[in-house]
Amino acid sequence: MMADTLPRVAGKLTPNAPLAPLVWFKSGGTAEWLFEPRDAADLQQFLRDLDPAVPVMALGLGSNLIVRDGGVPGVVVRLGKAFAKVTLSADLTLDCGGGSSGILVSSTARDNGIAGLEFLRSIPGTVGGFVRMNGGAYGGEVKDVLTECDVVLRGGTMQTVSNTLLNYTYRHSNLPQGAIVVAARFKGRAGNSDDIQAEMDRISASREASQPLRSKTGGSTFKNPDGHKAWQLVDDAGCRGLTVGGAQVSEKHCNFLLNLGEATSADIEALGEEVRRRVRDRSGIELEWEIQRVGKT
């Protein structure tokens, strides 16, 4: 895809952009094109004028993602600073840009005396990602606090979608493929800022104690099957500490995979598949990936 076949943009368009620095695993290939739109209008116009056959993928903080070593064809859209603002929009409701982090959302909620959004502190990612995935942790899920979101569809039109239309289930929404979440409204309940901070501190300490946060990881690897904890199934199958190439199952939390330094994305994905095989052989349970795997091998 040559530059002159792409629509003009106000933001930044980079060919053959390395994606490894942008994802938590620090592995994987390049994006054929990386687009960082100046604002929602720039994104809309670009998608409207882009050949409909060109694949488009949104990238947030790259926490829950394996970018395969062959890279990602088409256009990867990354929402930058223009999409990372959080403001009080109505009573107990925050208007959050799709590129805002969970930490920014929960801190702004605290500053405005809004309780119920503390769990977002612990989700490594951006609003766009956890609205799509129904992100959750520590007793809260996005479906409990989202009122509506603004999405730009692959054809460039903007739509506001209410919570009920997303049909949220565990780690899933029915947002259409290629739709990019550019903003979302979250509503909490009245609370005391000190109590909210205390709950955020508790969540933070709990994560620190139980998860390998200082490592190159992708966060939670597999979904919890009904009635089971994924980490327990992985542990019971003897996979704690298991390695493939430069990738390892974390000894601290078995539902986390680590890049020990030089792992390829192929190593990481192969390790995940080996874990799935061993769990299936031992328990008959088919673990489902929670981490998204994109691009070409």
Q: Are 202 and 100 part of one and the same domain?
A: yes
Q: Are 149 and 178 part of one and the same domain?
A: yes
Long-range contacts of 107-112 (CB under 8 A, 24+ apart): 107/200, 109/186, 109/188, 109/196, 110/193, 110/196, 110/197, 110/200, 111/193, 112/88
The reply to whether 34 falls in a domain is yes
pLDDT for residue 21 is more than 80? yes
Quote the mean pLDDT of the chain: 95
Residue 2's pLDDT band, with cuts at 50, 70 and 90, is confident
End residue of a domain, out of 49, 78, 107: 78
Catalytically active residues are 171, 220, 290
Residue pointed to by tokens 């990738």 = 247
Cβ–Cβ < 8 Å for 204, 121: yes
Q: List all residues 6 or more positions away from 169 whose beta carbon is below 8 Å from its beta carbon.
A: 134
99-113, 119-133, 228-242, 248-262: the lowest-pLDDT one:
119-133
Q: What is the pLDDT of residues 28-58, one digit of tens each?
A: 999 999 999 999 999 999 999 999 999 999 9
User: 94 φ, ψ to 5°?
Assistant: -105, 140
Q: List all residues 6 or more positions away from 213 whose beta carbon is below 8 Å from its beta carbon.
A: 207
Task: Read off the CATH number of the domain in which 259 is found.
Answer: 3.90.78.10
pLDDT for residue 1 is more than 80? no
Residue pointed to by tokens 């995979």 = 257
pLDDT for residue 109 is more than 90? yes
Total number of domains in the chain: 3
